[in-house]
Amino acid sequence: MKDYTRDDIVRLVKEEDVEFIRLQFTDMFGQLKNIAITANQLDKALDNKCMFDGSSIDGFVGIEESDMYLHPDFSTLEIFPWRPQQGKVARMICDVYRPDGMPFEGDPRQVLKRAIKEARDLGYTFQVGPECEFFLFDTDENAMPTTNTHEQAGYFDIGPLDGGENARREIVMTLEDMGLIIEASHHESAPAQHEIDLRYDEALAVADNIMTFKLAVRTIAKRHGLHATFMPKPRFGVNGSGMHINMSLHRDGSNLFEDSSDAQGLSKEAYYFIGGIMRHIKGMAAVTNQLVNSYKRLVPGYDAPVYIAWSTTNRSPLIRIPAERGGSTRIELRSPDSAANPYLMLAVCLKAGLDGIVNQIEPPESVDCNIYTMTEAERRRLGIENLPGTLIEAVEELKKDAFILDVLGKHVAEKYIAAKEQEWQQYRAHVSEWEIQQYLYRY
């Protein structure tokens, strides 16, 4: 994270010939928004005087209280590498405030900052490493997105089988130009599917980086005549796109999840953190998997979790513990997908884990065999429950979890639930192509 001062910002904008500055923020559903100002309005922006109409943003406010102010986070200043070299374009990520100077309770970034403060008050720093998956599909003759691809590459394949290799390489280089550190990138298991892993960092920086990542991926893909999508399951019959989240808590630079004296190498804090996640995961699902389409990824047979369990040795449960120990000891939550709002997702993950630590919630025994090959009776005997199977099931679980509702806050929770219930009703009323193919000629 860069430690820019106001003077640094003014100097950099002048020295780098920046003509436009985008003031970016994220709506409740993880969509990046911005207003653009010219460099001669920079002082106004730095004085937190740039205003926008909050009633025009999904999940924010009504027209009777529409004025909102953007407070830029100086550390997030970046110049877009893909814009012109004269009259450059930069961005700053902003927090949203009300006219009375109070943080807006419907701003997802503020939700995460509240959770981070509570962790800090307990002496913890929350470190996160996301594994971001996406598809690169062909566009049609009008440059509109399709779900078509000409490649048939699979896991870890290389060019020329990997038809998106050049685009992925440019994405990585662009992200590094913008200050992100990329740990790895590769072709994923489905044709046209890719993964890029971002370096471990503190949670707020990671959430900001995920939003930057999505913007860069879409922008560079378009330059290659491709369409990048973070839709969880865009094609039937192949794996969907997840966003596995690696998490650990630190204090004074030490990883608190490590304990070399434990048989699994895990500390009490790590076990309790797992216990908290498992207790609240049903209520979290509407946040970690926010779309109707999300639940078409969470089905057996496609390398996505379905069952609420944890393991140190296999990848079928919800939570796995990667093999690395010592300072790299971490918990990997495998259910979130790439469409999730990263601010809300990390907030509920952190607070659920902290609830486990504060209340010493013991997780069940680890399940170190393939859960998918178990019978239903075997799973029931072990107390293994399912994740919600549809968006509306997830919303109902969220409504029952007072703790997760409190993490989101009253404003976000009410607006979010209402929007997701409406999304489900629209889906229920839609007549799909599958129904036409199945029923039209029979009945």
Residues classed as catalytic: 53, 131, 133, 188, 195, 244, 315, 332, 334
- Whether 30 contacts 340, CB under 8 Å: yes
- The whole-angstrom separation of Cα 255 and Cα 325 is 10
- Identity at 405, one-letter amino acid code: L
User: CA-CA distances (angstroms) from residue 407 to 108, 190, 280, 351, 360?
Assistant: 11, 35, 12, 7, 19
User: H/E element holding 199?
Assistant: none
Count other Cβ atoms within 10 Å, centred on residue 131. 20
- The whole-angstrom separation of Cα 242 and Cα 317 is 14
CA end-to-end distance (rounded Å), the chain = 62
Backbone angles phi, psi at 346, to 5 degrees: -70, -30
Which residues, in sequence order, are CB contacts of 238 under 8 Å at separation 6+? 189, 190, 191, 193, 302
The strand ranges marked E within 281-404 are 307-308, 310-311, 319-320, 331-333, 385-386
* CA geometry: angle 10, 14, 15, nearest 5 deg: 115
Three-class DSSP category at 305: coil
Nearest-10 crossing angle of helices 268-288, 410-429: 50
User: H/E element holding 234?
Assistant: none
- The whole-angstrom separation of Cα 87 and Cα 140 is 32
CA pseudo-torsion sign 39, 44, 49, 53: negative
Biggest CA pair distance of the chain: 72
